[in-house]
Structure 1
Amino acid sequence: MVFHSAISLISSWIILFHPADDNHFNPPGITGIEVVGDTCDISAAISFQLMGTSDATSYTWNFDDPGSGSNNSITVDGSRGNSNVSHQFSKPGRYEVHVTWQEPGMPEARLCKYVTIGQCCVGTNAGTTTISVCADQLPYVWNGSNYTESGRYTHSFQLPSGCDSVATLVLQVGNPTPSLGNDTTLCPGEKLLLDPGNYDNYLWQDLSAGKVFEVTQPGRYSVTVQNGGGCSGTDAIEVMYENNCGDIYFPSAITPNNDGKNDAFGALGNVASVSNYKLVVYNRYGQVVYSSSDPFQRWNGQNSGLLVANSNFVWNAAYSINGRSQKYKKGSLAVLK
């Protein structure tokens, strides 16, 4: 900014022209205009007080506020050095308030003060809006801009007061993703409860509308769900029934004498349907003497190449039948001659 100053001699007074925001036209005896009140609050009246002394008996104030009508200008009587007025500004803005008066036998004097009203913009926030839209509803238009992805977006704009404000958009894009799980196999008599998750609406393959669906026979089952925003998603599962659902079992004793009868220890029964298998055998000291992940493999009763006849052991096993949930078994084993 370039500042200009000029000195002009009027009678015996020196009148100074100062930069825009300072008091100017400052005759001897008057030091300035004091502003009293909350200039941030447009609803509050602001008081102006002349500082200094003067022999004038009347003062004319102008508030540079045409919107206030006849209240924009006022002439008041004042005693020596005393002029105090109030004004209610019509709207936020920057105003040049000035007062004129005349000392006895002197030219008219004028003093100005710039004041900003109702434009204190600390922490202005227009709030946050959260929106959920379906993928087929994009782009989402907000404040004149297009948005195509989930995210947090902000927009700045100017309030009527002249203050900057910030609005925030939280955009959630996407359709529901219900899950019925992987295709599965059940045994005769077993049931499966399908639960796709929590949504507002459900429509199953048989046109039922419950939150869950109970499966009692083989087939393909599907569900279409809808959330509160009207977005939908679908999932399906194939359920089969397996007749070969027998379990496996383990002997409680073996006689490893190579007579072809009960010579080794391992899983018996529906071994062909077993998966995720693990068998571990321990001696009485808790040491592992045998382990296997092959359900067709058997322990011959030997440890480090030596037969451990006439000894007792404990074992545990984990496995699945036809890929279903994991099962666990444990027991004791006698190795006899």
Structure 2
Amino acid sequence: MTFILVLAMVLPKLLNAQIVIGKPSLGFTQACASPSFNEYNVTFTFSPNTALLASNQFILELSDASGDFANATTIYTSAEGEITASPATITFAFPDTVSGEGYKVKVKSTAPVASSTPSVAFAAYYKIQDTPFSINNLISTGVFCAGGSYLLTVDNPGNPDNDSPLQYPALTFNWRRVITETTSVVVHTGLTFEVTEAGTYFAETNYGTCTSNSYSNRVSITQSASGNASEITSSLGNPYCASAGETTLSAISANAYQWYLDGNLIEGATNQMYKTNQSGLYAVDIDLGGCSTTASIDLDTMTFTSSINVEETFALIEGETVSVSVSTDANEPKFQWFLNETEISGETNSTLIVDKTGDYSVIVTQTSGCETVLSHQFKVSEPFPDVENIPNTISPNGDGINDTWVIPQHYVSGSNSEVTIINSQGKVVLQTNNYLNNWPEETIVFTSINPVYYYIIKAENNQTKKGSITVIK
């Protein structure tokens, strides 16, 4: 009977056990979280601690950006019975969706059920993108006509050279107008900005009162009449390394374009951007609607020059050698020599001693700075036979005798003589300053009559030889 009486007296106290949770104290004034840092502390008090049940958990809730807990987010939950002493400090991380100036937190318990009053309001932003980005295709100028406008946009997509914030759709932007080198004012919010007033502008990701590195390049916008010059930018810089691929030339935003290279119109090049890997003076006519402008860039692809000291084809007498040398202004050049498309082992200098016939080539590589490659080819043959007279018959029947028209050496390759062969209908079938004793290279079709051709040889000394060539079987 005594046991029943004591239980009856204690049970109501257990059922009505309550605690009071104090207003959370923030360990920060504002939360500027990022992928590299997201650890914050909140301290709270509660009493009496004897009222906590063994299953109790403390929960930290986050309001929306206006301080409303109607759709609160749980950002921390303790283990059952983990926190038993007051005051208590908990460490938590903010979700990557926070973006605003009026967040609050409050602490709740589960056994017994209780809730604190909300904390003071604070700014919280998750800086998912916190590096500089580009606008206006990195073009530092823009022009609009009187009464018109110029559209500024954030460049997209992101790549290793442009961590575009457009990769993160939840982000918003402030567009700022520069007042001085160190001051600016917000003049627009949104993904794009239609500029109607001359000035210098840039964009920043909207992280409120949090400082960040998520801002763009500056663009100077002017109001123009026809004739004012603009500029062209190269995506890989200027000069740029052509071995990296094509660079993209970009003009300012406009209605229509026409590109030129070295003063010559480029057919079909009528877009804002033009890709190229060729050096030269590029220009573009830009139609702004109510007025027009032009832009130009002298593009340097950082190529080098090289030359070789022999002709493309030359003869080599048996037992003779020729020193073939490459001259180049390449930085730290590397040389590879080939004979009949096979690399010549051990030959890595700028000079090669040639002692046999064949098809040669050398590849010159600039190895320092911009890696660029140039090549040279030359053919080494046996000397042409030294015949005394110009023959007037040939028999191209494949027997190895008189198959081609072989003329004296002082008229063949290397002599600067012009050789012309004409058929009986007056059609030129061969005309060259580098005759190789190799005509005819194609089969001549015979009829019942042996075909006759006519030759004209103009020697370097202005002497001219003329005659006929009869083709026989």
TM-score normalized with structure 2 length: 0.22
**Greater Rg by CA:** 1
Instruction: Report the structure, 1 or 2, having the larger strand content.
Output: 1
